[in-house]
Amino acid sequence: MAFISLTILAILLLLAVTLFYKWKFQYWKTRQVPFLPPKIPFGNIPNPFTLKEKPGIFIKQFYQEMKRNGWKHGGFYFFACPVYMVVDPDYIKQVLIKDFQYFIDRGIYSNEKDDPISHNLFSANETKWKYLRTLLNPSFTSKKIKAMFTILLACEKFLTQNVENNQVIDANHIFANFTIDVITTCAFGLDCNGNQNLALKHFGEKTINYSKLKMFVLMLASIFPKLAKKFGCVIMHKNTQEFFVQFVADIIKFREENNYTRDDFMQFLIKLKNKSAKQVFTLEEVASQCVLFFIAGFETSHATMSFALYELAKHQDIQQKVREEFWAVVDSQESEITYEAVQKLKYLDQVLNETLRKYPVVMYLTRRCIKDYKVPEDGAVIEKGTTVIIPTVALNYDENYYPNPKKFDPQRFSEENKKLRHPCIHLPFGLGPRFCIGRRFALIQVKVGLVLLLKNYSFTVNPNTREPIKLKIHSFISAPEDKILLDVHKL
C-alpha cells in the first residue's frame, strides 16, 4: 500500500509540475510576443549541468533563429521563466539609450547584506547605481587617466623582462602578470610584490571562474533575486570577501597613518570615505569598488591583449602595420611613449575593435525592466521584472553586418566602414548611460601593453598552440581555455 501511495503521489507531483510548465509557457503567447517553442524542464536552454559551450553560444543560436523568422524581438524561456531578447539594432537602441529609464538595472544578482563586496557599480540597482556613478565619474576622466599614465609605463620592465628571457611565451600568462602590476601600481599605489600579486590573482580569479553548480546557482539567482537573498546566496566566498576588505583596509591605514597621498584610484576613494563625518561611503563600499576595478582591469584586459597578440602573430602584415604606425607617431626608436602618442594610434584602435568583435569580453548584455514597458512599434508590453538580453556575440558574428565574420580584419573599423553600420551592433563596453565607466583606462592599458612588446619584438604562433582558440566555459568573461603560445623574435 505504501508503494502504491508513493507512486500515486509521484504521478500527481509530475502532473502538477507539467501543468505548471504548460501554464508558464503561455506567457509570451498571451502577450503576442513571438517566441521560441520551449521544452520541459529547461525551457529553451540546454541542460545547464552538461554545458559544452559558453551560454553566449546558445544565445547566439536563439538570435539566429529569431532573425531567420524575421523577428525584431522575441521571447524564450529559462526553465519556466520568460526572458526577452532584442534582435533589431533599433530595438537595442531603445533599450540601451532612448528608453533607458525603463531598463536601468543590469539584472545582475548581488546581495548587499550577506556579500557587500559584490554590490558595486556594475551590479547595483537603479538608486544605488545613480549614487555610485555620480561619485565615481570624476575618477575616470581623461585628466585622471593621463595622470596615471607615467605610473603605467613604470611597469614596462616587468613586461619586457618576462619576454626577452624566453623564446616561447604564454601570452595569457605574460599579460596577466602585466595587468596585475599595472593595477597594483596605478590603482592601489603599491610597489610590485610577487607574493601579494599572486594572492590578488588567486582571489580575483575566484570571483569570475565558477564551477558548474555555482554558475547554475548564479543564473537562477539573477532570475529569482528575492528568493536567492532569502536563502543567503552570495557571489563571493567569505574568505574572498575578507581578503579584499583587509587588503583595502591595510592600504588606507598605511596612507592615513603616514600622511601618504598619491594621484590614483585608491586616493580618490579614500577622499570619498572621509568626505563627511557620517562616512556615507564606507570601507566595504571602498573595497567593493576596488574589487570591481581589479576584476574589470585584470581578467578582461589581459584576455583582450592575449587575443590581440595572437591575431597579430597569425597576421604578420597587420602586425607590421601596427608597428609602423607606432614608429611614425613617435618619430624615432629613442622617443618615449606618451599619452598623446598612444591616443594617435588609430590603426591600433581598429585592431582592438576587431579583437573585441571576434572575442567580446561578455557575450551578451543583460538588463532588467523596472516598470512596464510598451514596445513602440508593435505595442507589446514587457512587464516589470522581466530579464532582457542584448546578444552582443550574435551581432558580432552576423554576416549581414560583418561579412566573413571569422576572418580577422581591422578594416571593418575604419572610419568609412563604421559610418556604414548601425551604432548599436558593436558594443564592447555597452552603450548609453550605463556603459563601462573604466573604458578609457582599459583601452590605454591594453594599447600600452601591446606597444611595449611590438616596438622591440615580433611574434609568430607556436605550433603547440591549440587552434582554434577555445574559451573557458564557466567564466563570466571570454578568456582562453588553453595557453596561447607564441614564438618571440627580437627586432
Cβ(282)–Cβ(289) below 8 Å: no
Which is higher by pLDDT, 65 or 133? 65
Which residues are CB-contacts of 423 (< 8 A; sequence separation ≥ 6)? 89, 93, 431
pLDDT at 88: 97
- Predicted confidence (pLDDT) at residue 324 exceeds the cutoff of 80: yes
Across 473-477, average pLDDT: 82
pLDDT confidence tier of residue 378, bands split at 50, 70 and 90: confident
- Which segments of 53-193 does DSSP mark as H helices, in order? 55-68, 89-93, 126-136, 142-153, 156-164, 171-186
pLDDT band at 298 (very low <50, low <70, confident <90, very high): confident
pTM of the complete model: 0.92
| Amino acid present at 228 | A
Q: What pLDDT score does 65 carry?
A: 98
Mean pLDDT of the region 290-296: 81
Measured CA to CA, the distance from residue 325 to residue 313 in angstroms comes to 17
**151 and 304 Cβ atoms separated by less than 8 Å:** no
**Which of 225-229, 256-260, 409-413, 454-458 bottoms out in mean pLDDT, i.e. has the lowest?**
225-229
Which amino acid is present at 45? I
Q: What is the CA radius of gyration of the chain?
A: 24
